[in-house]
Structure 1
Amino acid sequence: MLEEATCQSVNPPKTLSKEAQPATASPATTPKKSRGKRSKFNNVKTTCDGMKFDSKKEARRWRELKRLFFAGKIGSLSRQVRIPLRVGGVKIGKIVMDFVYVENGMIVYEDVKSKATITPMFKWKARHFAAQFGQEIRVHL
């Protein structure tokens, strides 16, 4: 019998394995308590499945991708993957992908964004990533 996922784990793995059991129902998300200061983009930090997410939207997308993973439609699901950006072999920065997974034999790099978070810096990093790796970032709005 499958048990409902809990949100108690402190240091969960960043890569999902087939051995992990999916929740029978949508796991609850718990917004963090506010300390009086609003976030820059009004996002609400959320904990789901014992993992911390920068927004409710990102946690919701994680649950969607997790369902696809356990249904066998995607593979090798990872989150918060850091990828170095280089020019001429010299590291000039990094981009952190919210999710990386395999779909139809192709690696998909996905970032969850709102219109407000598609900043000039993100656009520059996305163009640099495309030039360096020859692949676009899938933006989930």
Structure 2
Amino acid sequence: MTEILTREQYRDAIAKPKRGNKFGAKTTVFDGITFDSKREAEIYRDLKLLERAGRLSGFQRQRKFELIVNGEIIGTYRADFAFIDHDQDGKFRVVDVKGVVTRDFKRVQKIIKAIYNIDVEVWK
């Protein structure tokens, strides 16, 4: 006897199983926003509390920076968080939440420093 599958059942049957994050991060939803990791969601919560308390301003998630070499855009980098820290005399801070700092990320940090003179901080 031949079994008949619906289109959805067939697609589910042949679909490759979804792999988890290679660094073990668990996707987390907080305030209706999906974060790449539980730690990133925790930091977001803490930074929002500091913003409400007036200790930081200009808070942005997923701040985009263009990577420009010789006047040509060669790529983009999205920082997890960017804000002005009033506890450090109005310093503009860019933060990326990482469990593992890769060689590629170190390269991007150097490019951001060269182009924008900004140190991308890594929070674990």
TM-score class, shorter: 0.7 to 0.9
User: Tell me, what secondary structure is at the counterpart of 1:41?
Assistant: coil
1:94 and 2:76 matched: yes
User: Tell me, what secondary structure is at the counterpart of 2:46?
Assistant: helix
Q: Which residue of 1 aligns with 2:55?
A: 73
> Could you tell which deviates more after superposition, 96-105 or 57-66?
96-105
Q: Which residue of 1 aligns with 2:104?
A: 121
Query: Take 1:135 and 1:50, find their aligned partners in 2: how far apart are those partners?
Result: 30
Q: Which runs of 5+ in 2 are unaligned?
A: 1-16
Equivalent residues, number: 105
Q: Which residue of 1 aligns with 2:8?
A: none
TM normalised by structure 1 equals 0.71
Q: Which structure has the larger Rg over C-alpha atoms?
A: 2
Query: Take 2:111 and 2:18, find their aligned partners in 1: how far apart are those partners?
Result: 36
Q: Which residue of 2 aligns with 1:138?
A: 121
- How many Å apart are 1:66 and its aligned residue? 0.6
TM normalised by structure 2 equals 0.80
Instruction: Give the CA RMSD over aligned residues.
Output: 1.2
Runs of 4+ in 1 over 4 A off after TM superposition: none
Q: Which residue of 1 aligns with 2:5?
A: none
Structure with more of its chain in helix, by fraction: 2
Query: Take 2:84 and 2:25, find their aligned partners in 1: how far apart are those partners?
Result: 28
- How many Å apart are 1:38 and its aligned residue? 1.9
Q: Quick one: percent identity of the two aligned structures?
A: 33
User: Tell me, what secondary structure is at the counterpart of 1:132?
Assistant: helix
Query: Take 2:98 and 2:24, find their aligned partners in 1: how far apart are those partners?
Result: 12
Query: Take 1:94 and 1:121, find their aligned partners in 2: how far apart are those partners?
Result: 13
Q: Which residue of 2 aligns with 1:16?
A: none
Q: Which residue of 2 aligns with 1:8?
A: none
